[in-house]
C-alpha cells in the first residue's frame, strides 16, 4: 500500500512545469505516431519525473517548502521503493518504442538520482548542478522525447535540427532554475548544499535570471526568424509577456525586501504562469507546424 506521504512526494502534477520541453519536441517531430506519443508522454510525465521527485525527496528529507509542496510530509521508506518501481515502469514503457529510448530514460534517471544521493549529491555543487539540471531537463529531454516520438536512436543528439532547439530549452531552464531555489536558502544551508541561488544571493539570483531570460528571448526570436516564422514569433512574444510582467513585479518587491518576498508563494506563482503560458504556446506551435490549424481554416 502506497502511503499518502509518498503520493504527495511523487508530485505528479508538478510534471506540468516540464511539459513545454515535450511539446516543443512534439511540434518538430516528423514521424508522429499516436501510440508513440502516448507511451512517451506516460513514460516521462507519469513515471520518470515523479520517480525523480520521489527519489530526491527521500534523500533530501525536506522540512520546509519544496516545488509543488508547501508543507511536505515526512518521507517514509516506501517512497524509496515506489520511486524505483516508477523508474522501472518508465524504462519498460520506453522499451515499447525502442531500446535507444529506454536507455535514454535510464541515463536520465541515474543523473537525477545522483542529484540528491549522499554518495554523489550533485546538488551541493552550485555551478555544476545548475549546468547539469538545465542540460538534462532541457536539451537531453528534448532529444530523448524526439527519439521516442520518432522511433530514432542516439545519433540524433549530434544533429543540428535537434541541437539548436534542444539548447533553447536548456536556456529556458538555466534562467528559471536558480529562481526555484530562492526560498530554500535556509534549508539548503542547514544541509550544507551550496546551491547557485545561495551563492548568488537573492538579488543576484534575479539579476542572473534576468540576463538569461533576455538571452533566451533573443535566441528564440532568432530561431523563429531563421525559420521564416514571423507570425509564430509574435505569438511567442505574447506568451512571454505575462511571464515577464510577473517576473519584474516580483523582482521589484525583492529589491525592497528580499527576505520577505523570496518565498514559496511567489516562486510557485512564477512556475505556474510560465508553465501555462509556455504550454499554451507550444501546443499552438505543434498545431501550426503540423498544419492542423490550416485544415480548420486558421
Confidence of residue 292 (pLDDT cuts 50, 70, 90): low
Whether residue 296 is predicted with pLDDT greater than 60 in this model: the reply is: no
Look up the domain containing 101 and give its range: 4-295
Res 148: pLDDT = 96
Confidence of residue 293 (pLDDT cuts 50, 70, 90): low
- Total domain count, the chain: 1
Residue of higher predicted confidence among 202 and 193: 202
pTM above 0.85, yes or no: yes
Q: Looking at residues 105-115, what average pLDDT do you find?
A: 96
Res 63: pLDDT = 73
> pLDDT by residue (tens digit) across 119-140?
999 988 999 999 999 999 999 9
DSSP state of 106: H
Report the CATH number that the domain containing residue 222 is assigned in CATH: 1.10.600
Res 33: pLDDT = 87
Please state, in angstroms and rounded to a whole number, the distance separating the CA atoms of residues 123 and 114. Answer: 8
Res 2: pLDDT = 78
Q: Looking at residues 94-111, what average pLDDT do you find?
A: 97
Contacts 24+ apart (CB under 8 A), 100-104: 100/147, 100/152, 100/153, 100/154, 101/40, 101/43, 101/144, 101/147, 101/148, 103/154, 104/140, 104/143, 104/144, 104/147, 104/148, 104/154
Average pLDDT of the chain is 91
Whether residue 218 is predicted with pLDDT greater than 90 in this model: the reply is: yes
Q: What percentage of the chain has pLDDT greater than the value 70? A: 97
Find how far residue 13's CA is from the centre of its chain: 13
Whether residue 295 is predicted with pLDDT greater than 60 in this model: the reply is: no
Confidence of residue 190 (pLDDT cuts 50, 70, 90): confident
Tell me the residue length of the chain.
Answer: 298
Please state, in angstroms and rounded to a whole number, the distance separating the CA atoms of residues 137 and 52. Answer: 11
Amino acid at each position: 500500500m502506497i502511503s499518502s506521504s509518498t503520493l504527495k512526494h511523487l508530485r505528479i502534477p508538478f510534471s506540468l512545469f516540464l511539459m513545454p520541453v515535450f511539446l516543443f519536441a512534439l511540434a518538430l517531430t516528423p514521424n508522429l505516431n499516436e501510440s508513440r506519443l502516448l507511451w512517451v508522454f506516460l513514460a516521462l510525465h507519469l513515471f520518470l519525473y515523479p520517480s525523480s521527485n520521489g527519489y530526491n525527496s527521500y534523500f533530501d528529507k525536506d522540512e520546509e517548502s519544496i516545488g509543488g509542496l508547501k508543507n511536505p510530509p515526512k518521507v517514509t521508506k516506501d517512497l524509496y521503493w515506489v520511486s524505483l518501481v516508477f523508474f522501472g515502469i518508465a524504462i519498460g514503457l520506453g522499451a515499447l518504442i525502442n531500446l535507444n529510448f529506454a536507455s535514454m530514460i535510464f541515463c536520465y534517471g541515474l543523473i537525477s538520482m545522483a542529484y540528491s544521493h549522499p554518495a554523489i549529491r550533485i546538488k551541493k555543487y552550485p555551478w555544476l548542478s545548475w549546468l547539469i539540471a538545465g542540460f538534462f531537463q532541457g536539451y537531453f529531454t528534448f532529444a530523448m522525447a524526439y527519439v521516442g516520438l520518432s522511433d530514432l536512436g542516439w545519433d540524433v543528439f549530434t544533429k543540428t535540427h535537434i541541437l539548436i532547439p534542444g539548447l533553447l530549452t536548456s536556456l529556458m531552464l538555466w534562467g528559471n532554475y536558480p529562481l526555484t531555489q530562492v526560498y530554500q536558502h535556509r534549508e539548503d544551508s542547514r544541509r550544507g548544499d551550496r546551491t547557485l541561488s545561495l551563492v548568488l544571493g537573492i538579488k543576484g539570483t534575479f539579476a542572473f535570471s534576468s540576463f538569461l531570460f533576455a538571452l533566451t528571448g533573443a535566441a528564440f526570436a532568432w530561431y523563429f526568424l531563421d525559420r521564416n516564422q514571423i507570425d509564430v514569433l509574435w505569438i511567442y512574444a505574447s506568451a512571454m509577456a505575462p511571464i515577464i510582467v510577473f517576473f519584474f513585479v516580483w523582482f521589484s518587491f525583492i529589491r525592497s525586501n528580499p527576505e520577505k518576498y523570496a518565498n514559496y508563494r511567489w516562486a510557485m506563482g512564477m512556475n505556474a504562469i510560465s508553465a501555462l503560458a509556455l504550454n499554451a504556446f507550444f501546443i499552438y506551435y505543434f498545431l501550426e507546424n503540423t498544419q492542423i490549424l490550416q485544415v480548420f481554416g486558421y
